[in-house]
Chains A and B, each alone.
Chain A
Amino acid sequence: MLDQEQGYVTADGRQIGGTVMDMRNITLRFGGVTAIKDISFDIREGEIRAIIGPNGAGKSSMLNVISGFYVPQEGDVYFRGQKRAPMRPYEVARQGIARTFQNIALFEGMSVLDNVMTGRLTQMKAGILSQALWRGKAEKEEVENREICEKVIDFLEIQHIRKTPVARLPYGLKKRVELARALASEPKLLLLDEPMAGMNVEEKEDMSRFILDVNDEFGTTIALIEHDMGVVMDLSDRVVVMDYGRKIGDGTPDEVRNNQEVIDAYLGVSHD
């Protein structure tokens, strides 16, 4: 059905491109516990790919494998057609993969602007001497990257708090700042770990709009974990369903919704 190089057209008419991220037969163990069992799936250029499943299914572990935080015992990760050697998370970040965290992981002691600017660190290359004197490359780079960050800040509508220390912000805004920090790096692949956890309906609507806008305007490929089924079904183009570390479903929201194994996993099944 899906061609490796050619993409497909979504229900709302967007053209999805070739494979960006290809996970092949990933197995991840922690001692005797197998968190992920032989899972394969791909993420395609420009799509919104959801990973869902009950608690403890291994979704966050999967995201951690993609972002280089865990190295799987078996299986290979292909990013943009290249097999990825085991690497440190900061090297993965330099390849253009950004993420947000389930529990907000902002730098509390810094202002919103500084937090967003940390998203540009992989692009800032000025030497220590230039920085010490605040002349030449360092100053130029600071302004150029500031412009990119300001665009992101505009986009996510957090201009009014740009100089506020992050520690003072409410939860919903912190989530947005974290998204801003990830976006500031202009990622090729954006990983969102429960971007709407703990939000009320309005905040969820806002966040959904931002995710769709990011995908639409920047063409960013997005992989997200989310528990709110309504949101997942509305946002995503394709869904991977995990349960107990195995993949039990993969396809468009409609296909997944009608998959008997998925229904069993979520609603339980009688053993008689």
Chain B
Amino acid sequence: MFYREAGDFKTSYQDDNQTFPIKFDRYRYYFVLFVAFAIIPFMINDYWVNAVFLPFLIYSIAAIGLNILTGYCGQVSLGTGGFMAVGAYAVYKLMTIFPEVSVLIHIVLAGVITACVGVLFGLPSLRIKGFYLAVATLAAQFFLVWLFNRVPWFYNYSASGQISAPERTFLGEPITGPATEAWAAYLVCLVFVTLSAIVARNLTRGSLGRKWMAIRDMDIAAEIIGVNPLGAKLSAFAVSSFFVGLSGALFFAVYLGAVEVGEVFGINKSFLVLFMIIIGGLGSIFGSFAGAAFLVLLPVFLKNVLVGGLGWPTDLAAHLEFMIVGGLIIVFLIAEPHGLAQLWRVTKEKLRLWPFPH
């Protein structure tokens, strides 16, 4: 009823180019931002932040990153875990080498370093496509994990081979290390997520995004209308790896605090993020959020229902949880192969006309 375009006339192309051209959408977006920034920080405790919000926010950034590469540019990557590790180790080295510089700057720089590494491993994409490229990025995954395990310089020669984040503050409030308050960690991640989403959206709706999508849909035609495939593919790898590196840096510095590379950034992580964008919707920023929410929140929800609600033993619940999540993924992909984002789009189309059928 209230979800209407009628009467909402656009008189300039700027207006028509907006991210949310429909007024109702725009207000909902502002409302979500308001709740996320002004209400949630005052209501959350350690459990909510560590089990729900931090993983959701951080995986959202990783999913946005991979979605740019796979969903928008059509280059399959199985190296996400490895690139997240690059972000984590980059921020660790930066934090220990330049302790006086703000950790927020380090996190962004970690993204830049990951972007460079991503471009390097993106070079094979100029020659190979599809499954073969996936295998090439798999090599990146294993090589990077091996590198961070075997070269002691990366973990500052610590005896355990782990890296752990030293305490760093922003405006006097610790945001990394064990003394971090839940709301501070949440706000740091939220700021990065919001900025990442806005930047990703701007890039994908502009000329760079069109280049990526042209390469994805038909690379030969793209080249004939004037897209340099080298530039388009490598820029997709760079931007994608930047976001993945950001998420890796946050995952280590703000969320976990201590990391053993093989355990945290293994091949499982690559698949998890890939599943997020497939379930959420390839080629959609909203889909990245939806997919991250689905795979982070569903296990938590199931655990609460099964253990907390029905009083089942924890081990039984844990196994059932795997089965249910796996089953739901299959059901989802059969019912809506284009992911949650498509479901959302269809709902909106229907809502625009509701209650009339046409």
Q: How large is the interface on B (under 10, 10 to 19, 20 to 34, 35 or more residues)?
A: 20 to 34
Flag whether B203 is at the interface (Cβ < 8 A). yes
Q: In the complex, are the beta carbons of A121 and B206 less than 8 A apart?
A: no
Binary CB contact string for chain B from 221 to 232 against chain A (1 if under 8 A, 0 otherwise): 111111111000
Output the nearest chain B residue to A131 by Cβ-Cβ distance.
Answer: B206
Flag whether B160 is at the interface (Cβ < 8 A). no
Flag whether A78 is at the interface (Cβ < 8 A). no
Given the known interface contacts A108-B217, A109-B213, the answer about A132 and B226 at a Cβ–Cβ threshold of 8 Å is: no
CB within 8 Å of B: which A124-146 residues: 124, 126, 128, 131-134, 138-139, 141-143, 146
Q: In the complex, are the beta carbons of B17 and A121 less than 8 A apart?
A: no
Task: Report the minimal beta-carbon distance from B338 to chain A, rounded to whole angstroms.
Answer: 10
Binary CB contact string for chain B from 280 to 304 against chain A (1 if under 8 A, 0 otherwise): 0001000000000000000000000
Flag whether B191 is at the interface (Cβ < 8 A). no
Q: In the complex, are the beta carbons of A93 and B226 less than 8 A apart?
A: yes
Q: In the complex, are the beta carbons of B217 and A133 less than 8 A apart?
A: no
Q: In the complex, are the beta carbons of B207 and A131 less than 8 A apart?
A: yes
User: Bound state CA distance, A89 and B224, in angstroms?
Assistant: 5
Set of chain A residues within 8 Å of B223, measured between Cβ atoms: 88-90
Q: In the complex, are the beta carbons of B213 and A110 less than 8 A apart?
A: yes
Which of B206, B217, B239, B283 is in CB contact (< 8 Å) with A138?
B206
Task: Report the minimal beta-carbon distance from A200 to chain B, rounded to whole angstroms.
Answer: 25
Which of B14, B210, B218 is in CB contact (< 8 Å) with A105?
B218
Task: Report the minimal beta-carbon distance from A259 to chain B, rounded to whole angstroms.
Answer: 33
Q: In the complex, are the beta carbons of B224 and A134 less than 8 A apart?
A: no
Flag whether A185 is at the interface (Cβ < 8 A). yes
Q: In the complex, are the beta carbons of B206 and A98 less than 8 A apart?
A: no
Q: In the complex, are the beta carbons of B216 and A109 less than 8 A apart?
A: yes
Set of chain B residues within 8 Å of A181, measured between Cβ atoms: 225
Which of A107, A138, A139, A142 is in CB contact (< 8 Å) with B221?
A107
Q: How large is the interface on A (under 10, 10 to 19, 20 to 34, 35 or more residues)?
A: 35 or more
Given the known interface contacts A90-B226, A133-B202, the answer about A106 and B221 at a Cβ–Cβ threshold of 8 Å is: yes
Set of chain A residues within 8 Å of B225, measured between Cβ atoms: 90, 93, 98, 118-119, 121-122, 181-182, 185
Output the nearest chain B residue to A117 by Cβ-Cβ distance.
Answer: B210
Flag whether A238 is at the interface (Cβ < 8 A). no
Which of B13, B199, B202, B224 is in CB contact (< 8 Å) with A69?
B224
CB within 8 Å of B: which A65-119 residues: 67, 69, 88-90, 92-94, 98-99, 101, 105-110, 114, 117-119
Set of chain A residues within 8 Å of B168, measured between Cβ atoms: none
Q: In the complex, are the beta carbons of A107 and B213 less than 8 A apart?
A: yes
Q: Is the interface of A mostly helix, strand, loop or mixed?
A: helix
Output the nearest chain A residue to B202 by Cβ-Cβ distance.
Answer: A134
Task: Report the minimal beta-carbon distance from A164 to chain B, rounded to whole angstroms.
Answer: 12
CB within 8 Å of A: which B207-260 residues: 207-208, 210-211, 213-214, 216-218, 220-229, 235, 239
Given the known interface contacts A109-B283, A128-B203, A131-B208, the answer about A122 and B226 at a Cβ–Cβ threshold of 8 Å is: yes
Set of chain A residues within 8 Å of B208, measured between Cβ atoms: 128, 131
Set of chain B residues within 8 Å of A119, measured between Cβ atoms: 225
Q: In the complex, are the beta carbons of B207 and A121 less than 8 A apart?
A: yes
User: Bound state CA distance, A76 and B221, in angstroms?
Assistant: 24
Q: In the complex, are the beta carbons of A146 and B207 less than 8 A apart?
A: no
Task: Report the minimal beta-carbon distance from B221 to chain A, rounded to whole angstroms.
Answer: 4
Q: In the complex, are the beta carbons of B202 and A124 less than 8 A apart?
A: no
Set of chain A residues within 8 Å of B216, measured between Cβ atoms: 107, 109
Set of chain B residues within 8 Å of A98, measured between Cβ atoms: 225
Best-surrounded residue of A99, A131, A181 (most CB of chain B within 10 A): A131
Set of chain A residues within 8 Å of B239, measured between Cβ atoms: 128
Task: Report the minimal beta-carbon distance from B353 to chain A, rounded to whole angstroms.
Answer: 16
Set of chain B residues within 8 Å of A126, measured between Cβ atoms: 206-207
Output the nearest chain A residue to B206 by Cβ-Cβ distance.
Answer: A131
Set of chain A residues within 8 Å of B222, measured between Cβ atoms: 107, 118
Set of chain A residues within 8 Å of B211, measured between Cβ atoms: 118, 121
Which of A99, A118, A122, A146 is in CB contact (< 8 Å) with B13?
A146
Flag whether A228 is at the interface (Cβ < 8 A). no
Task: Report the minimal beta-carbon distance from A260 to chain B, rounded to whole angstroms.
Answer: 37
Q: In the complex, are the beta carbons of B206 and A99 less than 8 A apart?
A: no
Set of chain A residues within 8 Å of B229, measured between Cβ atoms: 90
User: Bound state CA distance, A108 and B210, in angstroms?
Assistant: 12
Given the known interface contacts A110-B217, A128-B235, A132-B203, the answer about A93 and B210 at a Cβ–Cβ threshold of 8 Å is: no
Set of chain A residues within 8 Å of B217, measured between Cβ atoms: 106-110
User: Bound state CA distance, A109 and B217, in angstroms?
Assistant: 6
Best-surrounded residue of B14, B213, B214, B225 (most CB of chain A within 10 A): B225
User: Bound state CA distance, A69 and B202, in angstroms?
Assistant: 32
Binary CB contact string for chain B from 175 to 218 against chain A (1 if under 8 A, 0 otherwise): 00000000000000000000000010011001110110110111
Set of chain B residues within 8 Å of A142, measured between Cβ atoms: 13, 17, 206-207
Given the known interface contacts A93-B224, A105-B218, the answer about A121 and B203 at a Cβ–Cβ threshold of 8 Å is: no
Flag whether A205 is at the interface (Cβ < 8 A). no
Set of chain A residues within 8 Å of B220, measured between Cβ atoms: 69, 105
Q: In the complex, are the beta carbons of A185 and B226 less than 8 A apart?
A: yes
Flag whether A206 is at the interface (Cβ < 8 A). no
Which of A99, A114, A146, A182 is in CB contact (< 8 Å) with B210?
A114
User: Bound state CA distance, A92 and B211, in angstroms?
Assistant: 17
Task: Report the minimal beta-carbon distance from A141 to chain B, rounded to whole angstroms.
Answer: 7
Question: What are 13 contact pairs spanning A and B, CB under 8 A?
Answer: A106-B221, A107-B218, A109-B216, A109-B283, A110-B213, A118-B227, A119-B225, A121-B226, A124-B207, A128-B203, A142-B13, A143-B12, A185-B226
Q: Which residues of B contact A (CB under 8 A)?
A: 12-14, 17, 199, 202-203, 206-208, 210-211, 213-214, 216-218, 220-229, 235, 239, 283
